[in-house]
Structure 1
Amino acid sequence: MSARTPAPPPPALTHWERHTEIPLLGASLVFLAGYAFRVLAPHDAQPWHDLSLVLVGATWLLFILDYAVRLRLSRLGPRFPRVRWLDTLVLVLPLLRPLRMVQVYTAVQKKRERPRLGLYARVISYAGMTAVLLGFSAALSVYHWEHDAAGASIRTFGDAVWWACATLTTVGYGDAVPVTAVGRTIAAGLMACGLGLLGAVTGAFSSWLIQVFRREDEKEPPASD
């Protein structure tokens, strides 16, 4: 018995997503910049702190409005959060919204008759974009929660970036470790994502090598007796 094919999204939802994806990506980068300023700028940097707070709040309200429109146009009702789990995740955790850049890039590639990058190059480039955005967002969040905590080893943003790199690559030196509950939750999520990204890149690179060696073997003339 074949698996049931999921129903395509309604045309109205597809039209909405096609016309709002790029503007919302820009809004997500504004959100990330505003949050980064809130976290990294000195506390006496006024009125810029207030301006960054306004930017963060305004873009978050924009994401809520977009979510409400998607919910209505999808006709999924209460099943929407489960079926469209990525939309729900980036609404709850807006710092992850720049990860939708991968979806935008994928859509651009699909519009071409022949993608500019090969399959394995695309996997590696998508994983690279995801790692950079995810690592930067995690470093900001961990620094925000950790740098004033008692007994914290992550005191500067540089420490947070170093920790994010070590966690994403699953190295885990142990010299910078979150001590708060929120910091450890972020670390657990980043470790899981790091394993997935590392597996995707390793698998794509291994498959590419196998194809290269197979082509070389096919080009070699048969051995004579």
Structure 2
Amino acid sequence: MTLTGGAVRTTDSRRPVREAVLTTAGLLWLAAYATTVLRPDLGAGPRGVCEAVGILVWVAFGVDFGWRWFRSGRRRAFIRANQVDLALLVLPALRPLRMLRLLTLLHVLNRSGGSSLRGRVGVYVATATILVGFCAALGVLDAERGAPGALITTFPDACWWVTTTITTVGYGDLYPVTGTGRLVAVALMLAGIALLGTVTASLASWFIERVGAEQEGSAAATRADDAALTREVRELRAELRRREN
């Protein structure tokens, strides 16, 4: 167990297995949630099973948080360093905010995205874009369908709205009219800005790195040419001195 920069980190050889289990559980919850939204005619029995899956997955994330808190050894420091995780665990207990469980899943995926910074950024951006978009489409459809004056009433409409919103285009042909739908819209707008900013920063970093590598290669070639020219001049001077003598 180490404490770095106020964050508590526990050394656990079973961490990859635990995170794989949590990722699978999160995807299972997403499948159950998608089933209840995309199949509004689902019977009471299957719908109850999907609701039970959602509760069990939430409990699984809670157990994981509690275990990491127990193993940390610095309980208060762990809570201070993991306030976001705690909020993502507590808030989804409220039904309108149950989609926040997705953020917990993204956090787990980000922790297991790879050892290199670029690998983590790539995995996180690609996964976050797909999952945030898909879950936002489900969330806005769940909130809007059946509401008076609703414009987003089908899943394709929800996907189109997500695409125009997350890319910050915003045609305005479709928009949520319910409070919950607008809450989903605000979250999606913030996510879109963050994701686009991450992509832009990653591309800029890649270009700067490539330009730096090319400049370094050019400078190395110039230094080699200078060294060769200096060597030839020295040899020529030595030859001239030998002839003068």
TM-score, scaled relative to structure 2: 0.73
Q: Which residue of 2 is the match for residue 144 of structure 1?
A: 142
Give CA deviations for 1:149-194 in whole Å, capped at 9, x if unaligned: 1111111111111111111111111111111111111111111111
Q: Choose from 167, 170, 176 the match for 2:168.
A: 170
1:66 is displaced (CA, Å) by 2.4
1:68 is aligned with what amino acid? G
Q: Choose from 122, 130, 133 the match for 1:132.
A: 130
Q: Calculate percent identity across the aligned residue pairs.
A: 36
Query: Does 2:96 correspond to 1:98?
Result: no
Task: Please tell me the root mean square deviation across aligned C-alpha atoms, in Å.
Answer: 2.8
1:34 is aligned with what amino acid? A
Q: Unaligned stretches of 5+ in structure 2?
A: 93-99, 223-245
Secondary structure (helix, strand or coil) at the match of 2:112 reads helix
Q: If you compute each CA radius of gyration, which structure gives the higher value, 1 or 2?
A: 2
Counterparts of 2:84 and 2:157, CA distance in 1: 29
Q: Choose from 79, 85, 88 the match for 2:86.
A: 88
Q: Unaligned stretches of 5+ in structure 1?
A: none
After alignment, is 43-52 or 144-153 more displaced?
43-52
1:82/1:194 Cα in 2 relative to 1: closer, same or farther (>3 Å)? farther
- 8 A contact 1:146–1:180 mirrored in 2: yes
Give CA deviations for 1:41-82 in whole Å, capped at 9, x if unaligned: 142445322322222222222222223333333355566554
After alignment, is 157-166 or 72-81 more displaced?
72-81
Equivalences, count:
209
Give CA deviations for 1:5-26 in whole Å, capped at 9, x if unaligned: 3254344xx4674542111111
1:87 is displaced (CA, Å) by 1.8
Runs of 4 or more consecutive aligned structure 1 residues displaced over 6 Å after TM superposition = none
Question: Which structure features the higher share of helix residues?
Answer: 2
2:109 is aligned with what amino acid? M
- 8 A contact 2:6–2:81 mirrored in 1: no
Give CA deviations for 1:72-107 in whole Å, capped at 9, x if unaligned: 3335556655421342243232133331212222xx
TM-score, scaled relative to structure 1: 0.78
Structure with the larger RCO, 1 or 2 (CA within 8 Å, 6+ apart): 1
